[in-house]
Amino acid sequence: MGGRVRHEKEGAVGWLVFDHPERRNAVSVEMWEQLPGAVEALGADPEVRVVVMRGEGAAFVAGADISQFAEQRTEAADVSRYGSVVGRGVGALLQLEKPLLAAIHGPCVGGGVVIALTADLRFAAADAVFRIPAARLGLGYEASGVEALAGTVGWSHALDLLLTARAVDAEEALRIGLVNDVRPAAGLDGFVRDRAGRIAENAPLTLRAVKVAARELRKAPGLRDAGAVSAAYARCFASEDYKEGVAAFLEKRRPVFRGR
């Protein structure tokens, strides 16, 4: 009844699917609770090199399941518990050390935008619509969410979206930097599948090093783990994949990377 988050695998590409189509994939508490486990399963699978998020059917994620608000977001203790559940789900996405893509069809609203912003690359269908309606619901917005939005589109556009609570179509989302590309709805999944496949062909340790560096550099200077960045960088040069990459280049052939 409350939807589910499921994970699937197609070769080296893992799919993280928000499956609640009767409510346009609005994220229920149950789905937030399932999200860390699904992310961790894909992160731990050595065959999966890239993860793509999508919604079931014609929507990405139409926000949180507002039908649960009267039960889950009333008293201060309820709000705190709800925030903890959401925080664990978003945190799992942010800590994933594999490239994370989002294929966005239709509504991407509120919590859907929060989820989409955890992706490294976001691709939208021409029918995608983005909106953050917190101001129309009387909700507060977490500082981390405001920071992620502003870090992606800049403070001017972020404040416009947050203060007006207006809808933004795919072309405007592309113009302000909220998405990387816009494709016809019928061709989006194929485009994202191809892009994910291209990424999956590259050296896994290099992909991880890029993710670690990007994660740490988004933090305030005093909070960055420079050691983690250096270790990920050094591991690339100590790897068999580095030798394979150089050999393949010199031999003019496609490299076969194994992540070690």
Write down the H helix ranges in 8-142. 29-44, 69-72, 76-95, 111-117, 134-137
Question: What string of pLDDT tens digits covers the 260 residues of the chain?
Answer: 689 999 999 999 999 999 999 999 999 999 999 999 999 999 999 999 999 999 999 999 998 876 665 555 556 566 778 889 999 999 999 999 999 999 999 999 999 999 999 999 999 999 999 999 999 989 888 899 999 999 999 999 999 999 999 999 999 999 999 999 999 999 999 999 999 999 999 999 999 999 999 999 988 899 999 999 999 999 999 999 999 999 999 999 999 999 99
Longest distance between any two alpha carbons in the chain, whole Å: 65
Say which residues have a Cβ less than 8 Å from residue 186's Cβ, sequence separation at least 6.
none
DSSP 68: G
Radius of gyration of the chain (CA): 19
Q: Are strands 168-169 and 129-131 parallel, antiparallel or unpaired?
A: antiparallel
Q: Are strands 4-10 and 121-125 parallel, antiparallel or unpaired?
A: unpaired
pLDDT, tens digit, for every residue of 82-104?
889 999 999 999 999 999 999 99
Instruction: For residue 25, give the nearest of 69, 56, 47, 52 by alpha carbon.
Output: 56
List domains and CATH numbers for the chain: 4-199 (3.90.226.10), 202-251 (no CATH)
Q: Which residues pair with 17 in a beta bridge?
A: 6, 54
Neighbours of 87 (CB within 10 A): 13
Which residue type, as a one-letter code, is found at position 133?
Answer: P
